[in-house]
Chains A and B, each alone.
Chain A
Amino acid sequence: MVGASELWQQMRYLMPEGLLLCAGLVILLFDLVVKKGRSLYPLAMLATAGAAALALLPLESSEPLFFGMIQSDAFARYFKVFSALAGFLVVLMSMDYKPLPARFVGEYLGILVLALAAIMLLAESTNLLMIFLSLEFLSLSSYILVGFLRNDKKSKEASLKYFLFGAMCTAVMLYGFALLYGASGSLDLPAIKAAFANRQNTPLTCLAMLFILAGFGFKVAMVPFHAWVPDAYEGAPTPITAFLSVGSKAGGFAVLLRVFFTVFPGLDYHPYWLAVVGVLAVFTMTVGNVIACSQDNLKRLLGYSSIAQAGYVLLGFVVMDGRFTQPAVMIYLLAYLFMNLGAFVVVIVIANTTGQEEIDDLAGLSERSPLLAWSMFIFLLSLAGVPPLGGWIGKYYIFATLVKGYLEGLSGGNLMLWFAVALAVNSVIAAYYYFRIVKAMFFEHARERMARPVVGGPLLTALYVSLILTFAVGLWPQPFLNWVSRMALPLL
């Protein structure tokens, strides 16, 4: 039996999310007292920065904590740093986002900070109960945040669609949990793995796996479960769109990695897995890229682009080999964090200037604001995977993972080669619509009466941080790669 002092000792592994949870509640309470909501921004920045600092402390434990509910290992710590960093940038972006109603800033920040804690909990859960709880925590906060623009009908509508789709996927996932529980007799991930250790794959476990994939696929925007993305991305406040595209996606990938690496290596499922996930990944990126080509709204375009990016990352899962998959996925997500948030910073500035987010609003941006135009250019190049930038490192690693899987003769190697080809073809399609934006910025002339965009301090900070780190991951990848491979899940 675990003693009280031991439980108290275990609390120190939960410092980052504990800080965020307390900060979230404190912000909500302060909101009742403080008259001006804007004064809560420093508090939220302090909380996210503090959580990032606490998460960087080398406090790890490979032992299960709190009766096996969570495991605060290096892998969880990576996603804690990730979530806190993304949160910090999103708070910076929100400061100058004009449509956000000043009266409700406290509520907004409180829920945002709680959502960040939910991502952290999601990354460290090792029990189906805890996974369900933290996934719902994240989802419910996201639904509210998406519908935050009080007087904007689109925002409410996006929120409702996101909610309905999310609730359905969650229910399907829960049924998958029920089947997994039935097949193994436990909710604890290590215990489930032990139960499966010497058993053949049954239809029950296959069905459970597919159902669970629905819930996680919804979070990462995988193709049959991507329908919410364009609407939610367009209707949500832009900083929240950025948060959804980076934060909740990373949370989904974290739990996907943990569940499928902890539970399923014992099963003889590899051929099914390869076919199902590989085909879904190819569909995901193709659908995302092809539909993105015909979009005129920047947020919708970036939404479809983020579906495509999820497809690239999912390809990493095809090779279920811990040495390759995890570092590839994790480095991709890191690069994606900076380049995508950077692109959304530019979208926010444009929306603040012209009041809308169409590609036409970017016309002649290179004349009006060279800094913004060139930054956007860099972010788009990185998203397209052009060599010296962060996105390229991510894409290269996914590609290399597939080729390595083929060369090492893993089962279904030929398929992997085809998937690699699909990845290359999709990168070319993606380049087309990224170039449309570049064309508008550099080769079209500004419409009459288009104001020069003004970039305030917080947005400028977010822009520079994203820009520097996009370059850093691309030009000096080694320290990041070392860090990422050290933080990968231990192979069981």
Chain B
Amino acid sequence: MWGCALHPEQFYTLSFLGVFVVVGLLFALGPLILAYMLAPYRPGRTKNETYECGLEARGDSWIQFRVQYYVIALAFLIFDLEAVFLFPAAMVLRERFVEQSLSLGLLAAVEIVLFVAILAIGLVYAWAKKLLEWN
């Protein structure tokens, strides 16, 4: 099952993956290696900062986020995933209108609108309850 020899055709298919890995590695590591070989090495206080220009970084990055951040993240997460349903729905909608009757197509359209409307009620609710405000 696992250790079987590769069929030539399979090998051909997999060879693309190999080329991709090699090229990807070269692309990522190449500049780093080149920079290591070519760049002059002159350390200094300003040189050692994380960003050479811009604001100076202060404190640790392991800080506690505001709890409110999670509320907004959760609202986003849910709406983000509901979008998954819109793609198959769009496919069905075209099929219905083109290949089947107008009434079935309209029914499907109404269903999608209802679906989004119920979601919108959720958003309106969160908005009205002032959960989306950052203060």
Contact = CB atoms under 8 A, between A and B. Distances in A.
B70 to A, nearest CB: 15
A8 B104 CA distance: 11
Contact of A28 (B100, B106, B125): B125
Contacts of A28: 121, 125
Interface string A27-41: 011001000000000
A3 interface: yes
Interface in B121-135: 121, 124-125, 128-129
Interface in A1-16: 1, 3-5, 7-8
Contacts, number: 24
A32 B118 contact: no
Contact of B104 (A3, A25, A29, A32): A3
B131 to A, nearest CB: 12
B121 A25 contact: yes
B103 A3 contact: yes
A3 B101 contact: yes
Contacts of B89: none
A7 B121 contact: no
B107 interface: yes
Interface in B64-90: none
B119 to A, nearest CB: 11
Given A25-B118, A25-B121, A29-B121, A4 B128 contact: no
A25 B125 CA distance: 10
B125 A32 contact: yes
A32 B121 CA distance: 11
Residue of A4, A5, A25, A32 with most partner-chain B CB within 10 A: A4
A337 B97 CA distance: 48
Interface in A102-141: none
Contacts of A4: 101, 103-104, 106-107
B103 A1 contact: no
Q: How large is the interface on A (under 10, 10 to 19, 20 to 34, 35 or more residues)?
A: 10 to 19
A65 to B, nearest CB: 15
A147 B59 CA distance: 37
Nearest to B122: A28
Nearest to B110: A4
Contacts of A1: 100, 104
Given A28-B125, A32-B125, A32-B128, A5 B118 contact: no
Contacts of B103: 3-5
Nearest to B118: A25
Interface in B94-122: 100-101, 103-104, 106-107, 118, 121
Nearest to A28: B125
A25 B114 CA distance: 12
A29 B101 CA distance: 35
Contacts of A7: 107
A69 to B, nearest CB: 13
Contacts of A5: 103
A5 B107 CA distance: 9
A286 B105 CA distance: 56
A445 B101 CA distance: 76
A195 to B, nearest CB: 26
Contacts of A25: 118, 121
A29 B121 CA distance: 8
Contacts of B107: 4, 7-8
A121 to B, nearest CB: 15
A1 B101 CA distance: 11
Interface in A297-325: none
A411 B124 CA distance: 59
A440 B3 CA distance: 72
Contacts of A32: 124-125, 128-129
B71 to A, nearest CB: 14
A7 B111 CA distance: 12
Contacts of B121: 25, 28-29
Nearest to B103: A4
A152 B71 CA distance: 20
Contacts of B106: 4
Nearest to B105: A4
A354 to B, nearest CB: 34
Nearest to B106: A4
A62 to B, nearest CB: 24
B93 to A, nearest CB: 14
A29 B122 CA distance: 9
Contacts of A29: 121, 124-125
A29 B104 CA distance: 30
A245 B103 CA distance: 44
A167 to B, nearest CB: 15
A216 B36 CA distance: 61
A264 to B, nearest CB: 32
Residue of B106, B107, B118 with most partner-chain A CB within 10 A: B107
Nearest to A4: B103
A223 to B, nearest CB: 34
Given A1-B100, A29-B125, A32-B125, 19 more contacts: A1-B104, A3-B101, A3-B104, A4-B101, A4-B103, A4-B104, A4-B106, A4-B107, A5-B103, A7-B107, A8-B107, A25-B121, A28-B121, A28-B125, A29-B121, A29-B124, A32-B124, A32-B128, A32-B129
24 contacts: A1-B100, A1-B104, A3-B101, A3-B103, A3-B104, A4-B101, A4-B103, A4-B104, A4-B106, A4-B107, A5-B103, A7-B107, A8-B107, A25-B118, A25-B121, A28-B121, A28-B125, A29-B121, A29-B124, A29-B125, A32-B124, A32-B125, A32-B128, A32-B129
5 cross-chain pairs, A with B, having the tightest CB-CB distances, nearest first: A4-B103, A32-B128, A4-B107, A4-B104, A25-B121
